[in-house]
Structure 1
Amino acid sequence: MTDELPNRCRLVLIADPKKGGGMEAPRVLDALSGGDVASLILVGGAVEDAEFQKYCEAIVPDAQARGVAVLISGDSRIVGRVGADGIHLETGKAEIDAAVRKHDGRLIVGAGGAKTRHDALELGEAQPDYIFFGRFGFDADPAPHPRNLDLSRWWAEIVNVPCIAQGGSEIASAEAVAATGAEFVALSSAIFNGTMKPSEAVAAVNELLDRTAPRFEEE
């Protein structure tokens, strides 16, 4: 990674150890060696707590050393145990608001789960660090889900809270997300389940975004 961050949509990686052979810790770390990655969201879900914590411990220090912010999905206990940078929550406004106040800038608090504009505005009132449009594990189609693109385009035009929009299973899907004005594109299958090594896929995404993503206005 270079010292200067790209002034365009950046990549967020979603890594879920329950997805089989594609997302073991070594493959996640290989992905981070491929180029610019803004952040990494580690998803536990059905994995046992001890197994998930071990998985996170194998990734977090190396990722942070590369300048990548690491968030844990849903489990604040593991955030503290592994020294992660933040937590991703898919709950209601009250829970998001409580987390934002509790962590008070010490941890990144991200909000997911919005399926409508009304949902998104409710979550946005809690002032999370970002809002996520998409669902973990639902990126099997080559293109992004149209709802993710519609919500991202609408949100980027009217709200200052940054948004992450989930792409599809193909690297090319990052271009459609960037065109909405989203600050970040989230990819998982496109990085870990394709024919390229994860590092090669990350490099290809960054090359695509360098060529095609709109540039943000300088403040």
Structure 2
Amino acid sequence: MPRSIRPDAVLVQAVIAGALSFAHLHDLAAAAGQIGWKAWAYPISVDLLLVAAWRRLRSDGPSRLAWCWFLIALVASLGANVATAGFLDLQHPPAWLRFGIAGWPALAFLGGTLLAHSPTAEDRVPDPPAPAAPEPAPQIPEPAASAPASEPAEIPAADEPPALPAADPTPAAPVPAALVDHARKVADDHHARTGSRIDTDTLRARLGVPPQLADAIAAQLA
């Protein structure tokens, strides 16, 4: 059985509204001086621009370009419907209406060209990804400075009289007796003041003699 044709109310409503809008645009163009086929071309131009802008919005998503030309075509269609409802004297149309009708072809051509040749979302070349920043090199922790080893505390030695240097095995030079007597007095004076025997360095410093002679004198005093 053939399928029964069930009219769609929305489709019927769209056809009626489109036909009325088409007729109003034709009447407005004819009143502005566009006669013959020109008057029929105006409603086609307006409706095609409206459909092209709406299709761009549906396919590529909202954009300023598509919304701009959709609103321009919608204002042109609504303006024609309102103007032919008795708000304008179509027998004596105003100058601005003639100006608008005359300039519409260029405006519609510009809108259609921009909608047709502007890059869509599929045509746009994605921007190359930004190069990733190099990762910082891992920092190797510096070894902690080792604490200086503490030096062993020096243990003070007990107070001991300095030992006289060992006698030189070489034979010592003869020492004058007067110098030995003087050295003995110096040693006795040192012992009386300090309570300890005089050492060779102190004796040499007190007498002002060379080291070898001081050693020989110390040997004589021992």
TM-score, structure 1 as length reference: 0.21
TM-score, structure 2 as length reference: 0.21
Which structure has the greater CA radius of gyration? 2
Larger helix percent: 2
Larger strand percent: 1
